[in-house]
Amino acid sequence: MTAHPPPLTLPAPDMFWDPAAAVIDPDIPPRVAADPLYRWVLGHQIAFGVWRLIADNLAEIASGGKPDFDPAWLFDQYSILLLYTGSFTEIVYRERIRPSMMAADPAFSGRWGRDYHRVLRMLEAAKPHDTVLRDALLRNRRVHIAVARRLVPEGGSLLRDAGRASAPVTDAEFDIFDTYFGVRRAPCDRRGFLRSLASRAQAAHDDLVETPPAARLRGQVAVAPDGLHQPLLDLAATIAEAANNPKENV
């Protein structure tokens, strides 16, 4: 068994799905009980997949098409994933998670997520007036702050501590982030991607059953008042259903 989930295949953010590139990511092995990095990496991988869906669906709406997922629902899924991903103690974060990111780069930051930049561009283009989406964005911001405050009560980030907060993100930094979280950039078909995402959401649920968080998570009430287990199962089921939907890989 490995400590990390296997690589997630994703196309570059601005590349379309490629029906000819049938990607089959390997099944997700169970977590090695002692290593919280599994949760940290798996949760991020699923979040990147959800970001991809958010950007695709915002683009679909902007071009007058009909989205297959509601972006507000997707943002709430991202919030649930923030909670899952950070569902260990401050000590674990300080002693195991943060040093592993510092080893990859002393300024390592969430800003280096390639797919997130496309989400920001699509939000900018869509300028959502839809209050349902705006409320989901607000909930997401609050959940991120709650997770960050719980895991780093003294505040600050590696990026800020390294004095690089205002610099534009470089390709090398995007690559460091992809490598750390096991993202393989390659042409990919939409169905294969959705299957891989669904199996990761199921694995996140199984991981929580195996190793539940020690305490109720701050920020959880807004998006998952009854806990994270059922929302993760629902996410897995919804994505698996979309994978079986005949909508082609555009």
Are 10 and 185 in contact by the 8 Å Cβ rule? The answer is yes
Site string for ligand HEM, 147-166 (x = CB under 6 A): xx--xx----x-xx----x-
Residue number, 7 or 36, with CB nearest to ligand HEM: 36
Nearest-CB residue to ligand HEM?
110
Residues 75-94, buried b or exposed e (16+ Cβ, 10 A)?
Answer: bbbbbbbbbbbbbbeeebbe
183 binds ligand HEM (CB under 6 A): no
Report the C-alpha gap between 17 and 20 in whole angstroms.
Answer: 9
* Cα–Cα distance for residue pair 79/137, rounded to 1 Å: 9
Work out whether 44 is an interface residue with ligand HEM (CB under 6 A): yes
Decide whether 57 or 79 has the Cβ nearer to ligand HEM: 79
The interface with ligand HEM within residues 202-221 (CB under 6 A) comprises: none
CA distance linking residue 234 with residue 226, whole number of Å: 13
Q: What are the residues facing 8 on neighbouring strands?
A: 183
Nearer to ligand HEM among residue 93 and residue 189 (C-beta): 93
- For residues 192 and 24, is the Cβ–Cβ distance under 8 A? yes
Size of the site for ligand HEM (CB under 6 A): 19
**Residue closer to ligand HEM, measured from CB, 113 or 192:** 113
The single residue among 45, 57, 79, 85 that binds ligand HEM, judged by CB under 6 A, is 85
Contacts of 238 (CB under 8 A, 6+ apart): 69
Q: What are the residues whose beta carbons fall under 8 Å from the beta carbon of 247, sequence distance 6 or more? A: 68, 190
Asked if 13 is part of the footprint of ligand HEM (rule: CB under 6 A), the reply reads no
If phi > 0 it is left, if psi is from -120 to 50 it is alpha, else beta; for residue 227 that is left
Contact status: 113 vs ligand HEM (CB under 6 A): yes
Q: Choose between 102 and 152: whose C-beta lies nearer to ligand HEM.
A: 152
Binding site for ligand HEM (CB under 6 A): 44, 47, 82, 85-86, 109-111, 113, 116, 144, 147-148, 151-152, 157, 159-160, 165
